[in-house]
Amino acid sequence: MKIGILKIGQIDSRVLDRVLENLRTIFEDAEFTVLPDEMPIPKDAYDEERKQYRSDIILKSIREQVDKEKSLDRILGIVDADISIPQMNFVFGQAERPGKAGLISLYRLRPEFSRQKANTELFLERASKEAVHELGHTLGLGHCSNPFCVMYFSNSIFDTDRKQGLFCSKCYVKIEAASRPEKEELQPDE
Ligand code: ZN
Ligand code: ZN
């Protein structure tokens, strides 16, 4: 499985390094590369009224990119802008489930955003967790009821901080099955 990491707009290189390092440990059989070209945030994704970007529109652009880059199985986009979908105030990320495109936003992951003290380590850890979570969705996983599992739904940053960056044993079994190349047909659980 080949997975590309796509910068959407400018992204802190420390984030790329940490996310990459972490993903390589979690998804041992996958090959990760940071795509050399940065993709601008699609202009039509901006919602004037909400002053946020529509994550579904950005996700569509990522999907188009995967369809072009035939050598890649999946792309995870990283954006440093506030993203949302019409039904929610904000989202930390979004992904096709199952599918080939995932997206995370760094915007709300900095402790300063929640009036906490700046903490680079915490910020990088949060970004890593969200990256694993969205890739988990692309492999067909839904949300997990275990609050310590990386697939737990983050309603707020506190959920993100509580959960670990790892799959619980139940989700791990599903990830193992989904990562096996011969198993092409993925069934969303539940
Ligand atoms: Zn999710
Ligand atoms: Zn789980």
**Domains along the chain?**
2-141 (3.40.390.10)
What distance in angstroms lies between residue 133's CA and the mean position of ligand 1's atoms?
Answer: 6
pLDDT in tens, 34-57: 999 999 999 999 999 999 999 999
Residue 105: Cβ within 10 Å count: 26
Average pLDDT over residues 53-70: 97
Which of 6-36 are b and which e, b meaning 16 or more Cβ less than 10 Å from the residue's Cβ? bbbeebbeebeebbbebbeebbeebebeeee
What pLDDT is attached to residue 187?
A: 61
Catalytic residue numbers, as ranges: 134
pTM: 0.94
Is pLDDT above 70 for 189? no
What pLDDT is attached to residue 167?
A: 98
What distance in angstroms lies between residue 85's CA and the mean position of ligand 1's atoms?
Answer: 13
**What is the phi/psi pair of residue 46, to 5°?**
-80, 130
Average pLDDT over residues 77-91: 97
CA distances in angstroms from 142 to 32, 114, 136, 185, listed in the order given = 23, 27, 8, 16
What distance in angstroms lies between residue 115's CA and the mean position of ligand 1's atoms?
Answer: 24
Ligand nearest to the CA of 136: 1
What distance in angstroms lies between residue 116's CA and the mean position of ligand 1's atoms?
Answer: 24
Residue 154: Cβ within 10 Å count: 21
Residue 157: Cβ within 10 Å count: 18
pLDDT in tens, 108-155: 999 999 999 999 999 999 999 999 999 999 999 999 999 999 999 999
